[in-house]
Structure 1
Amino acid sequence: MTLLLQISDTHFGTERPQVVAALLRLVAALAPDLVVLSGDITQRARRRQFSAARAFVDAFGATPTLVVPGNHDIPLFNPLARLCYPYANHQRAFGADLEPSFESAELLVLGVNTTRAYRHKDGEVSMQQIRRVAARLEAASAAQLRVVVTHQPVAVTRAQDEKNLLHGRERAVQRWARAGADLILGGHIHLPYVLPLHDTFAGLSRRMWAVQAGTALSWRTRGTIDNSVNVIRHDASGGGARQTTVERWDYSETSEEFEQIARHELALDGAQPALAVTLS
């Protein structure tokens, strides 16, 4: 069994200290094999905000992390920095690689930098990025859960969120499906959900799912949804079909802990797309 924890839109600079402490307790209790931070690590890409984010990640101990930037991780109010060295503070905190990857016997996770200095909030994926990711996916083993991480979503549940969709998503989803992707993780809109991409995009060659996370730590929550993270469990040890679940864990103002509130059982590689949801 492999466990992946998805944390998104932490927006350090707007973080809630009690939620930070609760999430660190959750990480310690779950002992994930990988923590993915799917963008908007900071609120305004300032050095002190990245330092706080780095300290948060360091508190995971030896747990591997995969971090991709979001649009908030590029300076907004410093035009020179945005134009000439937009990722300087991000790279100072998390390393030079803006598109990191992680691989184990049961897991292949590929980060994609969908931010662009010439765009304000919108994200974009290029053909070069699409081809690079597809090549890695095509080399994956049959047992691996194949995950792509973007910041902006490739599919949304509400019409008012369509303006936030990733530019180039149609080509990316189609190509990555042919290459064997299972999940595309994202954030950006602070709204957690799981969507079957094989029902959203016509003619996909396999089942593929969009897994979106809410804001993990910020007070900039959306509607009635509190701070939220995703726990993804994958088991390929039984010799049969791969089994994958996505759990949504929300911060509770009452218990001051993260609590599981939903569980999605994802069907992978089957004949008929299906999604079972259990609310707890």
Structure 2
Amino acid sequence: MRLDRIDPRAVASVVALAVVIGLAVPVVGAPSVPQNGSADTIVGAAGSSPAEGSPLVVVPTPVPVPSSFEPVPSAGTTGSDGATTDPGSPTPQPTRLGGSSSSASTAGSGGRPAETAPPKPLFAQPAPVVTATSTPSCPAMISGTTPGAPSRTSPLGVAGTTSADLQSFAQQYNAIRVANCLPPVPFANIRYDSCMEDRLFWMAEDPSTDPSSAWGHIGSERSDGVPSVGCDGNLAGGTENTGGIVAQKWWDSTGHRTSLYKPTYTGSTANVCILFAMTHGGVPNEPYSFTRAAARWVTC
């Protein structure tokens, strides 16, 4: 081969190629050692162990980056939870709500902090729902009619109980009970009573001009000495009274309320009867508008 026939450009290309190969593979069979201390892996071109004469490629092992860490206060300082640690003592690990502290939450493999979930906020759990205790509703008003009264007249002309007297009393009696959260008494159980009416007649026929003569419970006396008859009860008297008015008068009097309305009674009113009677006028000169009334609670 004649040297004067060699193309200088071809020589330059060969030299350049040799320089590139020398930079890519400085030492054959001697793998480079990473200087950053990480655990890099040395593999061959096909992913197998390096063989003599094969080029080597250095593939760094990726280092996981923790997504979050438990907040750990430094020794001798106040942490985010307000607790202060003593210098020289082990740093306390915060406890997450719903879990417990462990060494695994602060150290993982290779001395790196382990990956943990972000701490849950305090009071994360919902407060219990307080259900208010319902208040029992009061009984409702009922409707109905009473059995009625005979409208008797005494031997000396005193007028007795009318059906209107009885119905007026029954309506107001139950209205008062319901307004005070007491169960009403069935209208059929609010009844005229002839025995109490007999005693009211006895009082109205006293010949004295004093309306209060003979007035009162069993044991009172008439001005003419006639012995008492009939049955006792809660009493009410006066001018322009109706059945409804005397029902209110009895409620307004503590003693009569206890006797006739029985506010503390908790049983059924199905077997409760309220007896009632009223007279109009008296001798010798009491007008019809002057009334005497009696009522009592019985079992029927």
TM-score, structure 1 normalization: 0.20
Larger Rg: 2
Greater strand content: 1
TM-score, structure 2 normalization: 0.19
